[in-house]
Amino acid sequence: MSIFFTKESIVLASQSMDRSIALSDVDGEMIHVEVVNSLDWISKLPNDLLLKVLSKLSMEEVLRTSVLSKRWVDVWKETSHLYLDMRRIAKAKILLPEVSHQAARSVTKIIKDHRGHLERCTIYHDSLQCEDGVFESWIQSLVNVKHIKHLKLVNLFDHFEPITGSHVTLDLPPKSFSHPDLISLFLDEYNLETPHAFYSCRSLKDLRLINVSAETEVFNAVLVSCPSLEVLALKISCPKKGFLKIENHNLKFLFLSCLGIKGINVSSPNVDIFSIEYLSCKEENFFTASPMLHSHRNYWAAGQCLAHTSYIISCPQQGEESIGHEVMLSGFNNCMKMLSLMSVSVDLTNAKEVEMLRQVLAAWPVEMGELEIVSKSNNDASKETVQRKSFALASCMITHGTVIRTVTIRPSSSSTTKKSKIKAAIEKLKELPKCHNCFHIRCSDEALVEPSLW
């Protein structure tokens, strides 16, 4: 049996208890109408179902359910997720000091009153909470008392309103984020002067530092303190140029956008997703030891690294999850929206891997500008099968407009007979209706494609 709820049905059903309602008639006389309805079905549901209902509502709507009846007073306190945006709590676009303090008190009360298993919490705040100790108390309560798993903290820095918003320096006690239950941490718009808060973060698997400023030595110390990372996203700036060192054998997903660094050394042999938005260093100071990543394209041009993503698609073992693939499908790919160049290594004879590629392209926030597909070797599949799969995938991308500029095809055979078949297949691709007039087909063998298509 399936039960469907709307926001309105929750309110109406929960208010449909026995009660007397005062109404005014046409002469202004007050009359009382007895409402008798004991069938408050929603309130009679067990808490686990009520929590599923609440999971479909915004945080503000969840909190408002506490006034519906005695039955609902404490239900919200057992929700597994808290999304606390002080702007929405204060119903203000700009948090002036008095409004900010009042909203901060509301956030403190919500965290204190919550009594269930809290898995995830997101807080949007302003710089005032970092000055009066409130921010530190939130972290202490969420990490060490509530034992939260996923924590996202965002400083509401307004580049156009420097009076009401500014970068803040995190001055937290040592090991603030070291609790073993904390596995995911997201920080946005902060300065770091020391790495102390990150000491002994051995359980942290997902770290995202977005719009964070610190010396390269601080970032290096933070990364050394988090040896179990599988996902690392750095959108950082360094006041003094230095070398950034990323050495982690557990890393699967790596996103870099680094301003002010002199060089970078990546030693993470198991990375299968590597995204670069921007690097301020020169090519000769960029070192990477990730042998799994394959790309025939040189992404360095005129001394700058082009924004791009390299992705090795591989199916996880049964019962396991591909954490990198989950990140690619999540909302974080909005941070990667400028990365319209992608090189994908995929086994085109593996239906699961092809489906994973389709999912990534479907979830991408912008149209893909250029896509390079490198077919992984498969000893069980013939070259003809791989090539047939390659052209089938390319034809689908052309007709659906998945890629707006270029698809690169890399034939796995160089024999004259096979070349003639490949050339005939490319001619068929050229005849397909295209969604984008500027679309081109590229091939690693120039003899197979007319120069006008390059």
The amino acid present at 59, given as its one-letter code, is: M
Neighbour-count burial of 162, counting CB atoms closer than 10 A to its CB (0-12 exposed, 13-18 middle, 19+ buried): exposed
pLDDT for position 237: 95
Q: Where are the domains positioned within the chain?
A: 46-75, 80-168, 185-301+333-339, 342-422
Tokens 């610190």, located at residue: 214
pLDDT tens track of the chain, all 454 residues? 344 444 444 444 444 444 444 444 444 444 444 444 556 677 777 888 888 888 888 888 888 888 888 888 888 888 999 999 999 999 888 888 889 999 999 999 999 999 988 999 999 999 889 888 999 999 999 999 999 999 999 999 764 444 444 568 898 999 999 999 999 999 999 999 999 999 999 999 999 999 999 999 999 999 999 999 999 999 999 998 899 999 999 999 999 999 999 999 999 988 989 999 999 998 899 988 776 665 556 777 767 888 888 888 888 776 677 888 888 888 776 666 666 788 888 887 788 888 888 888 878 777 777 788 777 765 555 556 656 666 666 666 655 556 555 666 555 555 555 556 656 666 666 665 656 566 666 665 544 444 333 3
Cβ–Cβ under 8 Å, residues 178 and 199: yes
Could you report the per-residue pLDDT of 176-220, keeping only the tens digit for each? 999 999 999 999 999 999 999 999 999 999 999 999 999 999 999
Please name the residues in contact with 443: beta carbons below 8 A apart, sequence gap of 6 or more: 408, 409, 410, 411, 422, 426, 449
In this prediction, residue 295 carries a pLDDT of 56
CA dist., res. 178 & res. 276, Å (int): 28
pLDDT for 410 equals 58
Q: Is the dihedral of CA 238, 241, 246, 252 positive or negative?
A: positive
Measured distance CA(352)–CA(201) in Å, rounded? 34
Question: What mean pLDDT is reported for the chain?
Answer: 78
Spatial CA neighbour of 408 closest among 438, 364, 366, 453: 453
Amino acid at 204: L
Residues in CB range of 93: below 8 A, 6 or more apart:
87
Q: What is the pLDDT of residue 212?
A: 95
Continuous segment of H or E residues that includes residue 22: strand 19-24
Amino acid, single-letter form, for residue 270: N
pLDDT digits over 193-203, tens only? Answer: 999 999 999 99
Rounded distance, CA 217 to CA 116, Å?
39
Identify the DSSP state of 159.
T
Cα dihedral across residues 270, 272, 273, 276: positive or negative? positive
If we measure between CA atoms, which residue out of 158, 104, 99, 113 comes closest to residue 131?
Answer: 104
Q: Which residues pair with 210 in a beta bridge?
A: 188, 235
Exposure b/e, 268-299, CB count within 10 A at least 16 = b? beebbbbbbbebbbeeeebebebeebebeeee
Q: In whole angstroms, give the CA distance from residue 57 to residue 36.
A: 28
Sign of CA dihedral 79, 83, 85, 88: negative
Give the DSSP letter string of 349-401: T-HHHHHHHHHHHHH-SS-EEEEEEEEPP-TTS-HHHHHHHHHHHHHHHHHHT
In DSSP terms, which residues pair with 259 in a beta bridge?
237
User: Strand ranges (DSSP E) for 181-272?
Assistant: 184-192, 206-213, 231-237, 243-247, 253-259, 263-267
